[in-house]
Structures are given as C-alpha cells and as structure tokens.
Amino acid sequence: MAEKLHRYHVHLVWTGGSDSVSLQGHSRDFILSAGEKPPLQGSSDGCFRGDAARWNPEDLLVAALSACHQLWYLGLCAASGICVIAYEDDAEGVMLEEKPGGAGQFKEVILHPHVTLAAGSDQAKSRELHHTAHERCFIARSVNFPVTPVPTIVVEPASD
C-alpha cells in the first residue's frame, strides 16, 4: 500500500521587534497563522518571561492532544450508534523543567473528558471507545510521553 502523506503548514511571525538583545528583555510574542484560519497570538509561558495572556507552545501541545482524542472519540461513537450529548475535557500536561529556565520535557498529559450520553446509550461501549480513540489519535501516537485518558461518562436519565 502506498504511503499517504498529509502536510500541515503554519506561518510564525515574531512580533517583538525590539532593540533589546538581553535574555530578560527580548519579546517572546509571535503570531501563528495557517491559511485562512484566524491567527493565534502566542508567546512563551509566563514563567519563562512570556505573556501569560497568549497561547504558548505547551498549551498548544496539550490542546492538540485533547482535540485529537475528542475528534476520534466522537467519530467512533457516531459510527457505533452512541449518541453523545455533551463533551468537555480538562486536559492537564505535566512538564519537567530540568534546570530553572533551562531545557525540559513533558512527563505526561492526562485527559479528563466528561461525556454525557443520550438515555439508553451503551456506557460500557462508550468507555471502550476512549481506549480506541487513544490508540488512533495521531498526536498521541507521535509523542514520547504517556497520554492517559481518564473519562467520566454519564447517561441522561430516560424521560417519562
């Protein structure tokens, strides 16, 4: 079978443009764009002298893992005839900073999806589909740290 490649292009523009050349003084702000999509304002994390009001690379990585899992899960549920009424995730990434201000890496990301199913839905099957979604998520398959979904699933009560 021939390889099927997908390419993703993102354009980054540093918006700092300051005259400061010091580690403490230079701006870490940037704008991300991709085609006609709305631009994202980014910076480094506030603890790394960035603008905490902007998206940082760590946020974006955790968001990508959460969104990839959610998209796979909802697709698998739809294909299995499971009606999802609501889906929210409070994903948490844990990064280990080896030295203050220095290199580090993610230790893990834990996904906490809270799923509400329509009355009569198969709760056990819906739980199994989180495992399948995790196995298929492109982003989770591409990282070198554990990504663990810990779902909460509730089924709406049947109406009288």
Instruction: For residues 28 and 71, state if they share a domain.
Output: no
Q: What is the pLDDT of residue 141?
A: 97
Domain assignment of residue 52, yes or no: no
Residue-wise pLDDT tens digits, 112-143: 999 999 999 999 999 999 999 999 999 999 99
Q: Does the model's pTM come out above 0.85? A: yes
Instruction: For residues 33 and 77, state if they share a domain.
Output: no
Q: What is the pLDDT of residue 2?
A: 83
Residue span of the structural domain in which 13 resides: 1-43
Task: Answer yes or no: are the C-beta atoms of 53 and 40 closer than 8 Å.
Answer: no
Instruction: For residues 23 and 100, state if they share a domain.
Output: no
If one counts the domains in the chain, the total is: 2
Q: What is the pLDDT of residue 53?
A: 95
How far apart (Å, rounded) are the C-alpha atoms in residues 23 and 41? 21
Residue-wise pLDDT tens digits, 92-113: 999 998 776 667 899 999 999 9
Domain assignment of residue 51, yes or no: no
Instruction: For residues 16 and 65, state if they share a domain.
Output: no
